[in-house]
Amino acid sequence: MTSYKLATMQTAEGPRAAMIIENRVVDIASLSGRRSDESVLEILEHLEESVSRLDALAATKPAGKPLSEVVLLAPIPVPPAIYCAGSNYADHAAEMAKANGREPPKDPHDLGQRSWHFLKSSRSVVGPGASIPMPEHSKKLDWEAELGVVIGKPARNVAEAEALDYVAGYLIGNDLSARDLSRRAGLPETSSFKSDWLSHKSFDGACPLGPWITLARDVADPHDLKMVLDVNGVVKQDSNTGQMIFDIREQIADLSARMTLLPGDIILTGTPAGVGNGRGEYLHSGDVVTIRIEGLGELVTRIA
């Protein structure tokens, strides 16, 4: 079987779904003659049938264009929803607690707790190689390397044992965070209205995703992937997805117990230690952030 990735490329006609086969990019709809193949989201909405068709197309070894000559966008430019796991690596939870003068948290499993998520705006998504502006009024822009899980079929009240059956594939995400915009001024620390998740996590360009979707069948174990983030070539985060507190199965089960997950929804599964806030380092204009996750490629973001 010919291996391929799912991507979205920029064309004169606008964004179009593509297959990446051995560093060549193929316009899927041009090959298949189906308008529904113009969008990765539409392909995911009929995943089982789509994959069978794409497998057959890939087997013909279509020529396509060299990857170096194509501009890739986020694989799903506007996902239906983006769910982000909060404090889902123990070492990251500890470094954030220290930065905020708190005691390191206990394992939430021991307290009978389940995974916790917040929403990130789909309108904050940008693709590989994007150059994003510093968020207005922020001087503490931070990085967070994350494994992204792409949902492939509607999921409601899914059991943990079956959760990975609902995954279409995986990608790389950067949960960029404006740390100094996370708390509203003029309110006591104990106020229920103190937090400002919108300014903190959903400014323009806050969610780089890409470079493509690697199909779940091509990832032997999503809980054993090396992940590394560097800023201007200096490694800041170096970990493994096996260090998650709540694994992917638990997260899908917990989210699907609250609402129906839909094809194209993305779950950003948490970040390990090494974020800037833990050491008082932040991003500045001209910085380049590069994230590599084993088997999933490389996601580069530039700060304008």
Could you report the per-residue pLDDT of 202-235, keeping only the tens digit for each?
999 999 999 999 999 999 999 999 999 999 999 9
Whether 64 and 101 share a structural domain: no
Query: Which of 24, 56, 73 marks a domain boundary?
Result: 73
Domain count along the chain? 2
Please give the C-alpha separations between residue 77 and each of 26, 30, 256, 266, in angstroms, as whole numbers.
18, 20, 23, 11
Domain boundary among 73, 96, 130: 73
Whether residue 116 is found in the same domain as residue 47 = no
For residue 40, give every residue at least 6 positions away whose Cβ sits within 8 Å of its Cβ, in sequence order, or none: 6, 7, 8, 17, 75, 76, 213, 264
Same domain, yes or no: 159 and 56 = no
One domain for residues 86 and 54: no
**9 and 142 assigned to the same domain:** no
Same domain, 285 and 189: yes
Looking at the fold, whether 108 and 257 belong to one and the same domain comes out as: yes
pLDDT tens digits for 18-53?
A: 999 999 999 999 999 999 999 999 999 999 999 999
Q: What gap in Å lies between CA 152 and CA 61, rounded to an integer?
A: 25
Q: Is 7 exposed, middle or buried (0-12, 13-18, 19+ CB in 10 A)?
A: buried
**Is residue 31 located within the same domain as residue 123?**
no
How much is the pLDDT for 103? 81
Work out the average pLDDT over 155-166: 98
Is the bond preceding residue 211 a cis peptide, omega within 30 degrees? yes
User: pTM score > 0.85 for this model?
Assistant: yes
Where residue 290 sits, what CATH number does that domain have? 3.90.850.10
State the chain's mean pLDDT as an integer: 96
CA dihedral 100, 103, 105, 111 (to 10 degrees): -130
Q: Are 8 and 25 in contact (CB under 8 A)?
A: no
- Dist CA 112 CA 23 (whole Å): 46
Length of the chain: 304
From 15, 43, 73, the end of a domain falls on 73
Q: Are residues 165 and 263 in the same domain?
A: yes
User: 262 is in which domain, residue-wise?
Assistant: 82-303
Strand spans (E) along 137-295: 141-142, 145-151, 167-174, 177-178, 207-215, 226-231, 234-240, 266-268, 288-293
| Same-domain status, 198 and 274 | yes
Whether residues 156 and 296 share a domain: the answer is yes
Are 91 and 239 in a shared domain? yes
CA separation for the pair 290, 146 (Å, rounded):
12
Quickly state the pLDDT bin for 80 (edges 50, 70, 90): very high
Provide mean pLDDT across the span 270-293.
96
